[in-house]
Homo-oligomer: A and B are copies of this chain.
Amino acid sequence: MTAPFPGARAAGDGTHSATADADRTDAEHADANYHLVGAPLDATTTFQPGTRFGPDRVRRFAGTFDDYDRRTDSSFSEAAVLDGGNVRAWNDVPAYLDHLTAELRAAVIDEAVPLTIGGEHTVTRAGVRATEPDVLVVLDAHLDLRDEYDGNPLSHACVVRRCLDGLGGSDHPTVDEVVVVGARTGSREEWERSESEDVTVVPPENAGEWSDHVPDLDGRDVYLSVDIDGADPGFAPGTGTMEPFGLHPREMRDVVRGVAPHCVGFDVVEVNDRDDGQAASLAGKLLLEFVFEHAASGRD
């Protein structure tokens, strides 16, 4: 168990095991609109590790945020967010993703929108499997379109590819389309894959314009994943792989606001503890912005 997100209610005793779902009391879940979990996976980080501390760090720095949002005239604590604590991670990534998927799927069955705080980006695969969206929108410095990394097809550097193309014989659901906003780097192979019709890359320079006119999402189910390294390192140094020339916080916020009304699921990932709180503050605030906008849009 861990401390719940500020303004959220804590779920049960916070213990998560393979059989935890059966133990949930119906009452506490019935009226939740959002089900938040931490997914502190830190298995495939390439450079600076520490995403295992991400969920608790985001919760901690979110403790300073006002509950009330002026723009939507609503409060986070009234948005009915249930914090189920952290889904404890271990190093068997496929098994962990299965377990996390089940947890998030339970939220969907309860008609709640799953919100995940990573953990490495790999956990997005669980969010997508649980919510089965049509479109995946990602805020990210990297394309994450590799087919494998260090021989591992479930690396954080492959997560968008997995959501698009699946994993060999696996029958897990995949999305029809991906939009990567803020992407500024990738291997040659990733850039080639990005030229297909089912991938749209919005460079940082165009993110503002894109969020002003979010195209083509009406009537489609969207999953929004925020990799905090989409931000310029000046705003989020506490992440595994810093990539300069990135998004500014207001640009990220505008994308979140623009996409949120279409969303069936959300995550924010790749925050670690190697800065002075900048990355965690930004991540926590973007999660609040998602909830405020999504709730105001009446989607749930």
A interface residues with partner B (beta carbon < 8 Å) = 1-4, 10, 13-14, 42-50, 52, 56, 60-61, 63-68, 70, 75, 90-92, 142, 150-152, 185-188, 191, 204-205, 232-238, 240-245, 249-250, 253, 274-278, 281-282, 285-286
Contacts and interface: CB of A to CB of B under 8 A. Distances in A.
Nearest to A155: B91
A191 B68 contact: yes
Copies in the complex: 6
A91 B233 contact: no
Given A56-B60, A243-B281, 10 more contacts: A61-B242, A67-B187, A91-B150, A91-B152, A232-B235, A234-B236, A237-B276, A242-B277, A245-B250, A274-B276
A6 to B, nearest CB: 10
A282 B244 contact: yes
A249 B232 contact: yes
Contacts of A238: 276
A65 B243 contact: yes
A70 B143 CA distance: 12
Contact of A186 (B13, B14, B50, B66): B66
Contact of A47 (B56, B63, B274): B63
Contacts of A43: 43, 91
B185 A277 contact: no
Contacts of A91: 43-44, 91, 150, 152
Contacts of A1: 3-4, 10
A65 to B, nearest CB: 7
A66 B285 contact: no
Nearest to A238: B276
Can you list the 5 inter-chain pairs with the closest CB atoms, starting with the nearest?
A: A49-B49, A234-B235, A64-B241, A242-B281, A237-B276
A232 B248 CA distance: 10
Nearest to A43: B91
B152 A237 contact: no
A49 B42 contact: yes
A176 B219 CA distance: 51
Contact of A245 (B188, B204, B241, B249): B249
Contacts of A241: 64
Nearest to A254: B245
A237 to B, nearest CB: 4
Contacts of A152: 90-92
Contacts of A64: 46-47, 240-243
A34 to B, nearest CB: 18
Contacts of A191: 68, 70
